[in-house]
Amino acid sequence: MAQTKHTQILIIGSGPAGYSAGIYAARAMRNPVLVEGPQPGGQLTITTEVENYPGFEHEIQGPWLMEQMKAQAARMGTEIIADWIMSVDFSKRPFTAIGDSGMIYSADSVIIATGAQAKWLGLPEEMGLSGFGVSACATCDGFFYRGKEVVVVGGGNTAVEEAIFLTNFATKVTLIHRRDELRAEKVMQQRLFNNPKIEVIWDNAVEEILAESEPRGVTGVRLKNLKTGDQSQIKCDGVFVAIGHKPSTELFKGQISMKENGYLIVEAGTTKTNIEGVFAAGDVTDEHYRQAVTAAGLGCMAALDAEKFLAEHE
Ligand SMILES: Cc1cc2nc3c(=O)[nH]c(=O)nc-3n(C[C@H](O)[C@H](O)[C@H](O)COP(=O)(O)OP(=O)(O)OC[C@H]3O[C@@H](n4cnc5c(N)ncnc54)[C@H](O)[C@@H]3O)c2cc1C
């Protein structure tokens, strides 16, 4: 027979938002249960140097930072479970969630911190080079490309914003786009076209990211012109993939209000979803900032919101 585990606060996800929620909920003596999901530690486990998380003078490694957060949450009293939530029922309290292990989680309140995943190009070499010249976050990694040449792939607002931002560091930014016009807002496009450091290559797709192994790093990209079929190569030190993000929210469809693009909707200035007692924090609600420190802040807010909800319903 399936086992049931009851908790006052169920946290779904083990990125900065989930662990921060765990730290605060445990310190509020709510004995939270945190289900780690398919990527224990979240997105930062697939990067190397992190230079912008406050509290460390020198850069730290993303996976190490997440181990510290996990250890801190566990030491405070968060029960951390290696499982993956497959379905949820938020129609009545206590809420229920069913894990891949068969465990039924029953909870007085829930914090959704399932994050988001960057969309990648799908090239075989791409993941192996993540953190070694391939990135999906200019805010996070732009600083490492001072005096270097980089490529940005994409044609929407994010790609254009990232290209312009990267000119603060790089000597040259090449934007590569599959079509012959950008989807970004006109005012952003104008800023891009006026920037002398940016070149746009139209109608091209990246077929291969070129790299060397000692030291491991990107050296260029091989392109294919989608109109003529012609191939070409350009030299660069970094490739920024800016073709969008996908929040991990399939599981909540039909139960939690979400935007058309899947991001969960929360009441402004809080982490409250449309279901009383269910809160959402981190990249799963945030398509704009997408930083570890903002996710951690939102995780803290969600635990405080959940604590207040529980206190009011006792
Ligand atoms: C390559 C890379 C480099 C980055 N570098 C930086 C940086 O230098 N500085 C910075 O501030 N930010 C950086 N970021 C962004 C940062 O990692 C994210 O903003 C942050 O991790 C978001 O935290 P989160 O807790 O909201 O979600 P995530 O980190 O996305 O974690 C989501 C969690 O939810 C879990 N989950 C998903 N589905 C389920 C489910 N069904 N059941 C249970 N659990 C589930 C996953 O297992 C995961 O643990 C980087 C991101 C990437 C991809």
- The per-residue pLDDT for range 223-264, each reduced to its tens digit, is 999 999 999 999 999 999 999 999 999 999 999 999 999 999
The beta-strand segments (E) located in the chain are: 4-12, 33-35, 49-50, 60-61, 79-81, 85-89, 95-99, 104-112, 116-118, 134-135, 149-153, 172-176, 198-201, 204-213, 216-225, 231-235, 238-241, 245-247, 278-280
Same domain, residue pair 183 and 235: yes
Q: How confident is the model at residue 187 (pLDDT cuts 50, 70, 90)?
A: very high
The amino acid present at 40, given as its one-letter code, is P
Out of 223, 241, 259, a domain closes at 241
Out of 226, 241, 256, a domain closes at 241
Indicate whether residue 15 lines ligand 1 (CB < 6 A): yes
In the reported structure, the alpha carbon of residue 206 is separated from the centroid of ligand 1 by a whole-number distance in angstroms of 26
Q: Which long-range contacts (CB under 8 A, 24 or more apart) does 201-206 make?
A: 201/174, 201/175, 201/176, 201/177, 201/234, 202/177, 203/177, 203/178, 203/179, 203/227, 204/176, 204/177, 204/178, 204/232, 205/176, 205/178, 206/121, 206/123, 206/151, 206/153, 206/176, 206/239
Residue minimizing CA distance to atom 15 of ligand 1: 291
Same domain, residue pair 296 and 193: no
- Arithmetic mean of pLDDT over the chain: 96
Per-residue pLDDT tens over the stretch 16-51: 999 999 999 999 999 999 999 999 999 999 888 899
CATH number of the domain that residue 177 is part of: 3.50.50.60
The residue range of the domain holding 11 is 4-118+246-312
Ligand 1 atom at shortest distance from the alpha carbon of 20: 25
Per-residue pLDDT tens over the stretch 193-224: 999 999 999 999 999 999 999 889 999 999 99
Same domain, residue pair 30 and 76: yes
Query: Which residues does residue 152 pair with via DSSP β-bridges, in sequence order?
Result: 175, 240
In the reported structure, the alpha carbon of residue 277 is separated from the centroid of ligand 1 by a whole-number distance in angstroms of 23
Same domain, residue pair 209 and 294: no
In the reported structure, the alpha carbon of residue 48 is separated from the centroid of ligand 1 by a whole-number distance in angstroms of 14
